[in-house]
Amino acid sequence: MAETLSWRPHCLVSPKARPQSPPAHPAVSTQHNAQVRRTARGRRPNRALLTATSARFMSTASTPSMRAREADSAMTESRPGSSDGGGGGGNVKVVVRVRKFLQRELDRNAVCLVEMDPKTQRTTLNPPAIEDVKGTRKVYEEKSFTFDKSFWSHDEASGHYSHQKDVYESFGEEFLDHNFDGYHTCIFAYGQTGSGKSYTMMGTPEQPGLIPRTCGGLFERIREEQNSSITYNVHVSYFEIYNEHVRDLLVPRTSPPSYLKTRESKADGVYVQGLTDCPVKSYAEVERLMNTGDQNRTVASTKMNDTSSRSHAVFTLTLKQIQHDITSDSTIERLARMRLVDLAGSERANRTEATGQRLREGSNINQSLTTLGRVIAALSDPKRQRALQAKGTQSPSKRRLEVVPYRDSVLTWLLKDSLGGNSKTAMVACISPSDYEETLSTLRYADQAKKIRTRAHVNQDAVSAAERDAKIMEMQETIKSLQLCMNAAALRKRDEADRAGEELENYQRQVLKMQRAMEESKDVSDVKIRTLTQELEELRPLAVSLQNEVDSLRRHLALALGELKNPIVIPRNVDEKENYYATDEESEWSSDEEGQYEGAPVAWQVDIDDLMSDLGMFRRKVADDHERFGCALRKDCSVRARTEVLMMNNSRHSI
């Protein structure tokens, strides 16, 4: 369960608090102490000596425990390739644990369908009663499986009931031994929702699980280490995979949530970019970080589980041991990673009655677990293992067998090394005592996982004094070259900044010059506009007077043209003789008058030509003003234009 833990390191039984047997024979005691010291230095212990003295001496947390190996000797012999205490490759260690009845199961008088044999480690799943499976065509039959260890945690009255401490001592201490030897390890819990995974991994304040006990045992061994030449560095990280997104549990929640990206490199493998990695010096610091992560973890209540984990939680401890040998002046570094995974439980929507957000969470959980099952199936395929062992050119079909769908899920991608790579891995299959179908599915899952072989190796780097000095010199040269590069880059940046500053100043000066030029041009334009406006106002009265003259001349011209078109006719007398003199006089007068009128149009034409010349000159001036002022004089120009047209028409008529 994802509960807040308040367990302290003193929950673990320290060597001082354990009941001690009577002292053994001095010789045996001396041999045993020497053997413990050799074991602490990572050498293989003398199993016969430890077996002979196991009745007198109890294993402590500060020394690699052999109890788990001795207890599981029968199991490792039961199937070839089982993971043992030695190095190299081995199969995934699989244990199964059945929980107690929950209150809802007691209310419906559920029957336990699981049986476990503590001697053969055989787990048997019995079919449910006939009345419980009426109306279905499914065939329910007895199924048996054999695993590395079977933990009966159903009935406390049973003689082989397994407590939290028993689970840790069975294989938890063994995996802690592997970590001190320099191996990567991984323990993950799998099972149906509400089957006891979080209880097994985290536990409660009264009954701490694998994660708190492993952390406590780690710091207890470091504290009791007698070799002063070894330096220990421990780092902790804690994250969850929620809806296929990685979220750091050691930082406060944000809205919207902040997710991290998963990356892969040749040097570090698959890792989470930007994940918090906290150095710790004691179990109290680890406990504080665990409490912080548990409070930030996503949990919710469903019909199957009141505190259902809605995400996969991954708690990682990184142990680095640095041992310096004064005699040979060499340094040995060992790096081990402990990955403890609490998987979210598989669930069926019709049983959990989940809707909305809970339903989407369950769908993503089942998808990632399905991908995990496909990865396990691919890794445990005997054809694939034979293909990997075969040498020479492989056919396309064999190459396809080597493809494992790690990238189909964030969970399997992050557990890539733990499932089929450089790690010693254990799976805790948590089962329900009364659910036949889900329990059978989990047992089949676990039975397939135990066939996976890993390729674990010691992550150790031994460096002699000469090599260390050479590396130091190389690093110093690298630092110098980097400093030179940084200085050169700084100089380049400074020069670029200076050039950019000069260009900016030039641009600013040009802008100021352009602004001043624009202001001067504006002032000149304003003066021209004022001058032309003044000239226009002065010419406006002249234009009015000229217009009046044009109107007067138009009237005179109209009268003259009218007289020319319609002359006055003088009637003649019939008696020409009587009027001879009168006719002569009239003719003389008429000829004088006609001569007078014949000269008048010529004079008028001269006047009109002069007037047209003046108007042409005026028009040119107006055109110049129009070019200067635009359309300001358009109205006056139109008036003058109409005047000229009328005068031209009148002159044509007169001609």
**267-271, Cβ contacts within 8 angstroms, sequence gap of 24 or more:** 269/416, 269/417, 269/421, 270/413, 270/414, 270/416, 270/417
Structure-token pair, residue 182: 């320099």
Structure-token pair, residue 423: 């790690």
Under 8 Å between Cβ of 265 and 271:
yes
Is 216 labeled as catalytic in the residue annotation? no
Q: Which CA distances in Å does 630 have to 387, 541, 619, 627?
A: 94, 20, 15, 6
Bridge-partner residues for 506, per DSSP? none
Is 461 labeled as catalytic in the residue annotation? no
Q: Which CA distances in Å does 259 have to 65, 75, 262, 335, 364?
A: 40, 42, 10, 28, 16
Structure-token pair, residue 425: 């891995």
Between the two ends of the chain, the Cα-to-Cα distance in Å is 123
Q: Considering the candidates 93, 149, 197, 451, report the single residue annotated as catalytic.
A: 197
Bridge-partner residues for 152, per DSSP? 98, 161
Rounded Cα gap, residues 263 and 177, in angstroms = 30
Number of helices and strands in the chain (H, E): 20, 19
Bridge-partner residues for 242, per DSSP? 245
Q: What single-letter DSSP state applies at residue 11?
A: G
Q: Considering the candidates 183, 199, 242, 406, report the single residue annotated as catalytic.
A: 199
Under 8 Å between Cβ of 163 and 315:
no
Under 8 Å between Cβ of 89 and 453:
yes
CA angle 572, 575, 578 (to 5 degrees): 105
Q: Coil, helix or strand for 583?
A: helix
Q: Considering the candidates 172, 196, 217, 293, report the single residue annotated as catalytic.
A: 196
Under 8 Å between Cβ of 325 and 229:
yes
Q: Considering the candidates 194, 293, 373, 420, report the single residue annotated as catalytic.
A: 194
3-state secondary structure 329-396: CEEEEEEEEEEEEECCCECCHHHHCCCCHHHHHHHHHHHHHHHHHHHHHHHCCHHHHHHHHCCCCCCH
Is 342 labeled as catalytic in the residue annotation? yes
Under 8 Å between Cβ of 176 and 216:
no
Rounded Cα gap, residues 326 and 344, in angstroms = 49
Structure-token pair, residue 522: 């504006």
Nearest alpha-carbon partner for 197 in 338, 128, 299: 299
Q: Considering the candidates 72, 181, 294, 342, report the single residue annotated as catalytic.
A: 342
Q: Considering the candidates 198, 237, 308, 418, report the single residue annotated as catalytic.
A: 198
Is 172 labeled as catalytic in the residue annotation? no
Rounded Cα gap, residues 205 and 209, in angstroms = 9
Structure-token pair, residue 202: 């985290």
Is 356 labeled as catalytic in the residue annotation? no
Under 8 Å between Cβ of 290 and 314:
no
Is 191 labeled as catalytic in the residue annotation? no
Is 392 labeled as catalytic in the residue annotation? no
Active site residues: 194, 196-199, 342, 345
